[in-house]
Amino acid sequence: MADMPGMRGAGTASTPAPGLKVPATIKRHPQGYLPVRTLNGWTLPYKLKGGVKEFHLVAEEIEHEFAPGSRAKCWGYNGTTPGPTIEAVEGDRVRIFVTNRLGEPTSVHWHGIDLPNGFDGVGGLNQPHIQPGETFVYEYTLKQHGSHMYHPHADEMTQMAFGMMGMFIIHPKDGEGVQIDRDYTFLLHNWALHPGTYRPDPSIMQDFDLWTFNSKTFPAIENLVMRTGERARIRIANLSMWNHPIHLHSNPFWVTGSDGGRWPEAQWRREVTEIVGVGQIRDIEFVATEPGDWAFHCHMAHHTMGPMGHGIPNLVGVDQSGVEADIRKMLPGYGAMGRYGMAEHGGHVAMGLKGPENTLPMMTGEGLYGPIEMGGMFTVVKVRDNQPAGDYRDPGWYRNPPDKIARRISSDPDFGNPPRRDPYGPRQEPAATPAMPKMDHSQHGG
């Protein structure tokens, strides 16, 4: 697979698949609802036949890029993972064709949707499996509204691990009492794509390499943009194998809904971090009060990192003088690192040092002020006073006013006289602030 077209695209800009360009504006649907913006994704078109909305999903093997430098053979729907978002309105009748282009049987479960038992999509229990080459049809009337998902219920461990999932948004027929100005959605997922391999490993239970929003890792994940004073809703669905505490910097948000729809306002609660459990969906809403670039991420620290070596000895505090040359005799390209922490990985990325084939750096992303040192489940909510209503184009980095930004006032480690405690007796002070080690990186990746 290393000879596949585009497989050696490390370091190149991410090129969206055809039809996935971020729209400049999103107009309201003729039925009155505001369509959702699926991060790095798209909404499935439908045909209206005899008052029924017809959608067509195709389960198939696809090529997917998690970020520049890491591509894999995955499974998805209609050419992408996650598959396209399905949008409809409470009371609509939908007819959904599902064609199976995989090499094994599949089915589709409509997660959280109230429907007749024969359409629930558990292969062998509710329906025959959809065999390779076959097309099945699901048809039912939507009795509810809210944020929902679709995914296989056949060889579920493999098919979901390979990326088969998507969002199903049902808008309320009577509108919403508290209006939304921008509506975003994405799915949380995890992948085991071992360095140098080109297919996810479905047998992994914990040691995942890639943590994604809509199958993308930061900085390939799209930013969310909005205007100061607007109200945004973010629908977060979790089909990974881990729970994720999702945290929004800036002002607190309200948790307003789930798979069960938008909750009565009396049930809304104020939070800054919300755990989205496996198989759950949570809707959060907030009104932007301060312009700026605000981090939005999972608060599991290693879920905002790229691939890392699990079980490698901790070298923080270890003097590695001379060890690099000795180890390179056995492992060409080895670089001693980690004595003062792991931040130097960001410097390695900036230097263009090559890592294992078809994998990503542990830390990545450059901001206006330097390395962001993040990866995985991380993106940015960009709030601007002058962002036009309905405009989803990225406004670039926010430049803080000079009087509203943290700034250096000293380079002396002995600055001031801060209160400190020594519960275990006098400490051994370093002679000076430790400097990053000067290492020969010329042979990295050699």
pLDDT in tens, 26-56: 889 999 999 999 999 999 999 999 999 999 9
Question: Which amino acid, residue 223?
Answer: N
Question: Does residue 437 sit in helix, strand or coil?
Answer: coil
Least confident of 220-229, 340-349, 378-387: 340-349
pLDDT at 370: 83
Residue 389 to residues 20, 25, 385: CA-CA distances in angstroms? 21, 8, 10
pLDDT tens per residue across span 101-145: 999 999 999 999 999 999 999 999 999 999 999 999 999 999 999
- Specify the pLDDT at position 164: 97
pLDDT for position 6: 34
**pLDDT value at 308 more than 50:** yes
Query: pLDDT value at position 161?
Result: 94
Q: In whole angstroms, what separates CA 209 from the centre of its chain?
A: 13
Q: How far apart are CA 298 and CA 211, in angstroms?
A: 9
> Taking residues 385-409, what's their average pLDDT?
93
Report the percent of the chain where pLDDT is more than 90: 65
Please report the beta strands in 272-402, taking only residues with DSSP state E, as ranges in sequence order: 273-276, 281-287, 292-298, 364-367, 370-374, 378-384
What confidence tens digit (pLDDT) does each residue in 138-173 have?
999 999 999 999 999 999 999 999 999 999 999 999
Strand pairing of 224-227 and 378-384? parallel
Give pLDDT, residue 16. 45
Cα dist from 397 to 88, 371, 373, 381, whole Å? 35, 13, 16, 11
Cβ–Cβ under 8 Å, residues 286 and 248: yes
Of 244, 261, 251, 239, the C-alpha closest to 290 is 251
Beta bridge mates, 185: 38, 235
Alpha-carbon gap, residue 73 to 90, rounded angstroms: 36
Give backbone dihedrals phi and psi of 294, rounded to 5 degrees, phi first: -110, 125
Task: Answer yes or no: CATH 2.60.40.420 is held by domain 37-298.
Answer: yes
**What does the pLDDT read at residue 429?**
65
Place of tokens 């307003």: 256
* pLDDT, tens only, 280-289: 999 999 999 9
Residue pLDDT, tens place only, 253-267: 999 999 888 999 999
Query: In terms of Cα–Cα distance, which of 78, 68, 70, 69 is closest to 20?
Result: 78
* Cβ atoms 255, 271 nearer than 8 A: yes
Domain residue spans in the chain? 37-298
Q: Is 104 helix (H, G, I), strand (E, B) or coil?
A: coil
Q: What is the arithmetic mean of pLDDT over 316-327?
A: 79
pLDDT for position 23: 64
Confidence category of residue 319, pLDDT binned at 50, 70, 90: confident
Predicted confidence at residue 385, as pLDDT, reads 96
Strands 182-191 and 210-213, bridge-based pairing: antiparallel
Please give the C-alpha separations between residue 253 and each of 268, 273, 282, 417, in angstroms, as whole numbers.
Answer: 10, 9, 12, 38
From the list 394, 382, 294, 386, the residue with the least C-alpha distance to 21 is 394
Q: How far apart are CA 24 and CA 290, in angstroms?
A: 23
pLDDT score for 227: 96
- 198 compared with 361, residue with greater pLDDT: 198
Backbone torsions φ then ψ of 81, nearest 5 degrees: -125, 130
Q: For 335-370, write each residue's pLDDT tens digit.
A: 777 776 666 666 666 666 666 788 777 778 888 888
Parallel, antiparallel, or unpaired for β 52-67 and 70-77?
antiparallel
Of 241-245, 294-298, 390-394, 428-432, minimum mean pLDDT range:
428-432
**For residues 339 and 341, what is the distance between their CA atoms, to the nearest angstrom?**
6
Mean pLDDT of 217-228: 94
pLDDT at 310: 62
Q: Which pair of tokens denotes residue 260?
A: 């069960």
User: Would you say 305 and 375 are in contact if contact means Cβ atoms under 8 Å apart?
Assistant: yes
**Residue reference for tokens 């219920």:** 153
For 247-273, letters b (16+ CB in 10 Å) and e give bbebeebbbbbbbebbbeeeebeebee
Read out DSSP for 159-201? HHHTT--EEEEEE-TT--SS--SEEEEEEEEEE---TT-SS--
Q: pTM to 2 decimals?
A: 0.86
| E strand or H helix that includes residue 158 | helix 156-161
User: Is residue 378 within 8 Å of 403, Cβ to Cβ?
Assistant: no
